[in-house]
Amino acid sequence: MNSLRNIANVGIIGGGFIGAAAALTLGLSQSLYTVDGGHRAIMFSRIGGVQDEIFTEGLHFRIPWFQYPIIYDIRSRPRKITSPTGSKDLQTVNLTLRVLSRPEVSQLPHIYRTLGTDYDERVLPSIVNEVLKAVVAKFNASQLITQRQQVSLLIRKQLVERASDFHIIVDDVSITDLTFSQVYSAAVEAKQIALQEAQRAQFLVERAKQERQQKIVTAEGEAQAAKLIGDALSQNPGYLKLRKIKAATQIARTVRPTLN
């Protein structure tokens, strides 16, 4: 009987060790977290709220239930934003920008307190729309096409400055699409067709002038040649006989191969 009791006690003690080990393992797993490459973490505490410390890549420790990490991707990420706006000459313009942006690492706690984790979703569409309206209104519709590089640089400059107010770093901005209203596009197409027709008409006029000038030059040359021949005949009657002999000789040379 005592042996059975000892075995039972050993089993209880062994089970307790196993349970404690399992609890310890679970506690350790919940106490550790990993920050992947290209990411940073900040810590939220149930007692003190968001902490100012920023955790870099690697394995870190936390107190379960009291603390939990908030992880941010700090790599530049592309985002396409389309915004309708108006040009200086009141034409409707649809612009699409490709924006590369990332959070300012040293300001991650402040970004979380004011904007949360979806900071770019909250801020970028709004400030892009604001900047586009301000910049596009300085140019006529035609200038937006002919001065596209200048427009892009001005948009980039103002967007970088505006995003910095929210601790967002803009690495690159490019215009990927620029379209106008159907009415304006049709007017531009009609103008291009009219210009092409005018250029074609001008070409035909210039060609006619050149052909007419060529005919005048040819006629003047023939008249001058006839005058020279006439002068030669009046001064030397033998000149006509010489030309007849040369013509007959040429005819004979042409006919001889045919007879053979």
Q: pLDDT tens across 147-163, in order? A: 999 999 999 999 999 99
Q: What's the rounded Cα separation, in Å, for the pair 233 and 54? A: 112
Rounded to two decimals, the pTM is 0.64
Amino acid at 27: G
Please give the residue that has the higher pLDDT: either 142 or 249: 142
Q: pLDDT tens across 20-41, in order? A: 555 445 556 678 999 999 999 9
**Residues belonging to the chain:** 260
**Distance between terminal CA atoms of the chain?**
147
Q: What superfamily in CATH does domain 77-180 come from?
A: Band 7 domain (3.30.479.30)
User: What are the sequence ranges of the domains in the chain?
Assistant: 2-73, 77-180, 187-252
Query: What are the phi and psi torsion angles at 38 (to 5°)?
Result: 80, 10
Instruction: Assess contact for 68 and 112: CB atoms under 8 A.
Output: no
Decide if pLDDT at 43 tops 80. Answer: yes
Nearby residues of 75 by Cβ (< 8 Å), 6 or more positions away: 38, 102
Decide if pLDDT at 254 tops 60. Answer: yes
Nearby residues of 162 by Cβ (< 8 Å), 6 or more positions away: 127, 130, 131
pLDDT given at position 2: 53
pLDDT given at position 186: 54
Pairing of strands 92-103, 168-180: antiparallel
pLDDT given at position 139: 95
pLDDT given at position 238: 63
Q: What's the rounded Cα separation, in Å, for the pair 159 and 144? A: 18
